Amino acid sequence: MKQKLSIVKIGGNLIEDPKELYYLLHLFSKIRGNKILVHGGGKKATEIGEALGIKSKMVDGRRITDAQSLDVAIMVYGGLVNKKIVAQLQALGVNSVGLSGADANIIKAYKRLVNEVDFGFVGDVEKVNTYSIFKILQAGLTPVFCALTHDGKGQLLNTNADTIASEIAIGMSNQFDTTLYYCFEKKGVLKDISNENSVIPFINSKKYERLLALKVINEGMLPKMHNCFNALRNQVSKVCIGDSSMFEEGYTNFTTITL
């Protein structure tokens, strides 16, 4: 029987709220067995960029990343956010190690070029070196990944954190019974975005099509849902979307995605 692995992705709004972030990290520290944390930080990168006079432009949920924006991304994701999270996890008794995709050559990527849009230094994942992740887990360490990959030729690339989480989950599913959790500030996928009590408990591909047509799902939820189905189609056992409470025992008010 395969060992269990939990992969938790946390997003920008949650990271920005110190109380929420602490609550999540506290619950993460209680997850038993193998676990991996993946974080974004897009909101912070936009804020720091603006303070430096660098404007952000998003297309299809992804940041157009010129050389200056890439430097901001490296500083914010690989430095500020990653190291703060690792230090907090250490305080909670989780021996974690902060990583970008370049470290231990774990995530190789190529420059994204879709529909003629030049995203600049944005990477799409080519290969996840699961052996290195396995070795880190085996050493009793908890990897904390930021939203950076590399092209193997010395170039770091900015990569959507939801995609990093799903690609790691897909890669690790050869060896592990993997659950992927997308954890953000809302209780789950909502029927009515303005009503926190409208969580849709289960979404399968058919229901997803309907929700898309009704425009219930939009903005940042679009790439998230795409990554959920991609993970499930590629041997990831389970995918859930919700807020930090989904890691509380007995809590059920979140969204589970099925094929």
Ligand X SMILES: Nc1ncnc2c1ncn2[C@@H]1O[C@H](COP(=O)(O)OP(=O)(O)O)[C@@H](O)[C@H]1O
Ligand Y SMILES: CC(=O)N[C@@H](CCC(=O)OP(=O)(O)O)C(=O)O
Binding site for substrate, by residue number, is 41-42, 63, 158
Pick between residue 42 and residue 78 the one whose CB is nearest to ligand X: 42
How many angstroms separate the CA atoms of 5 and 165, rounded?
A: 12
Among 17, 50, 118, 219, which residue sits at the site for ligand X (rule: CB under 6 A)? 219
63 part of the interface to ligand Y, by CB under 6 A: yes
242 part of the interface to ligand X, by CB under 6 A: no
62 binds, among ligand Y, ligand X, none (CB under 5 to 8 A by kind): ligand Y
Pick between residue 73 and residue 125 the one whose CB is nearest to ligand Y: 73
How many angstroms separate the CA atoms of 255 and 188, rounded?
A: 5
Quickly count: other Cβ atoms within 10 Å of residue 13's Cβ: 15
How many angstroms separate the CA atoms of 34 and 114, rounded?
A: 35
190 part of the interface to ligand X, by CB under 6 A: yes
H or E, element range at 219: none
The arrangement of strands across the sheet holding 202-203 comes to 96-99, 142-145, 34-39, 3-10, 176-183, 238-242, 255-257, 202-203
Among 8, 25, 37, 45, which residue sits at the site for ligand Y (rule: CB under 6 A)? 45
Among 7, 99, 137, 161, which residue sits at the site for ligand Y (rule: CB under 6 A)? 161
Q: Tell which residue, 56, 47, 167, has the closest CA to residue 110.
A: 167
150 part of the interface to ligand Y, by CB under 6 A: no
70 part of the interface to ligand Y, by CB under 6 A: no
40 part of the interface to ligand Y, by CB under 6 A: yes
Using CA atoms, how far residue 193 sits from 9, 50, 196, 206, in Å, is: 21, 28, 7, 20
Quickly count: other Cβ atoms within 10 Å of residue 74's Cβ: 17
Helix axes 18-30, 82-91, angle to 10 degrees: 50
What are the helix and strand counts (H, E) for the chain? Answer: 9, 14
186 binds, among ligand Y, ligand X, none (CB under 5 to 8 A by kind): ligand X
C-alpha dihedral (98, 100, 105, 106), degrees to nearest 10:
80
Residues in region 4-33 near ligand Y by CB under 6 A? 11-12
Pick between residue 150 and residue 186 the one whose CB is nearest to ligand X: 186
125 part of the interface to ligand Y, by CB under 6 A: no
216 part of the interface to ligand X, by CB under 6 A: yes
49 part of the interface to ligand Y, by CB under 6 A: no
Residues in region 148-167 near ligand X by CB under 6 A? 162
Q: Which residues bind ligand X (CB under 6 A)?
A: 11-13, 40, 42, 162, 184, 186, 189-190, 193, 216-221, 224
**Binding site residues, ligand Y, CB under 6 A:** 11-12, 40-43, 45, 62-63, 73, 122, 147, 158-161
